């Protein structure tokens, strides 16, 4: 599996790599909210399963499904994180048939994904299709200059303002509780500090 700098592959990165620590922190944050059937949509190489399925939290999770567009990433995930409760499948996050193939989920994780997808509103609709009525969605994305403003990342289609991200989720049918992330800190918005990422804890309206 080639390391390009965009996709997090823990085995290819130093343990103190800032991007690695940020990504892992989002899964640590999610531990308090995950339960039952868990979907990690755009799971990358699957390291999130390793974070979530530890000795303490393992009992909260009945089943973990990781889906990613990359066949290479899925093959790597199956080799490295093919635990008893995990399953990894190649798939498109916009595919409306995912709910027919895999059912609905108690928890959906969508980390650093929506900014890569041109049809972002359709993506949010698909998350809604996949989430059970009382379920929880945890979704993150970088803070940016606005959906119609170009961004410096060659991997991102757009980066949202806070109000745009919240509006996207609310119009998609979710109630939103917003957190900010800076490094390994995920906290409620503090106007006195500069943050780089948003993490939204969502439930269906």
| Interval 39-98: pLDDT, tens | 999 999 999 999 999 866 678 999 999 999 999 999 999 999 999 899 999 999 999 999
Q: Residue ranges of the chain with pLDDT lower than 70?
A: 1-6, 9-21, 55-57, 191
| Cα gap 118→102, rounded to integer Å | 24
Residues 46, 76 contacting (CB under 8 angstroms): yes
Position 149 scores a pLDDT of: 80
**pTM of the model as a whole:** 0.90
Position 9 scores a pLDDT of: 64
Position 127 scores a pLDDT of: 98
Residues 123, 93 contacting (CB under 8 angstroms): yes
Residues 202, 174 contacting (CB under 8 angstroms): yes
Helix 162-171 / helix 120-130 crossing angle, nearest 10 deg:
50
Domain ranges of the chain: 16-204
Position 181 scores a pLDDT of: 93
Residues 199, 169 contacting (CB under 8 angstroms): no
Position 16 scores a pLDDT of: 66
| Cα gap 42→94, rounded to integer Å | 11
Second-level CATH architecture of 16-204:
3-Layer(aba) Sandwich (3.40)
Position 5 scores a pLDDT of: 56
């Amino acid at each position: 599996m080639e390391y390009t700098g965009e996709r997090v592959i823990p085995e290819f990165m130093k343990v103190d790599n800032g991007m690695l620590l940020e990504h892992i922190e989002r899964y640590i944050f999610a531990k308090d909210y995950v339960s039952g059937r868990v979907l990690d949509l755009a799971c990358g190489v699957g390291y999130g399963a390793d974070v979530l399925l530890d000795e303490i939290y393992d009992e909260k999770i009945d089943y973990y499904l990781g889906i990613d567009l990359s066949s290479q990433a899925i093959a790597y995930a199956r080799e490295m994180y093919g635990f008893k409760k995990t399953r990894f499948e190649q798939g498109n996050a916009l595919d409306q048939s995912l709910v027919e193939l895999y059912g609905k989920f108690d928890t959906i994780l969508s980390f650093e994904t929506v900014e890569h997808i041109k049809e972002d509103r359709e993506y949010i609709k698909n998350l809604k299709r996949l989430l059970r009525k009382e379920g929880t969605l945890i979704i993150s994305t970088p803070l940016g200059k606005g959906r119609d403003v170009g961004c410096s990342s060659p991997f991102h289609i757009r980066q949202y303002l806070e109000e745009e991200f919240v509006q996207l989720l609310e119009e998609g049918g979710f109630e939103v509780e917003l957190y900010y992330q800076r490094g390994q800190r995920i906290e409620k918005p503090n106007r006195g500090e500069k943050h780089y990422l948003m993490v939204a804890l969502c439930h269906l309206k």
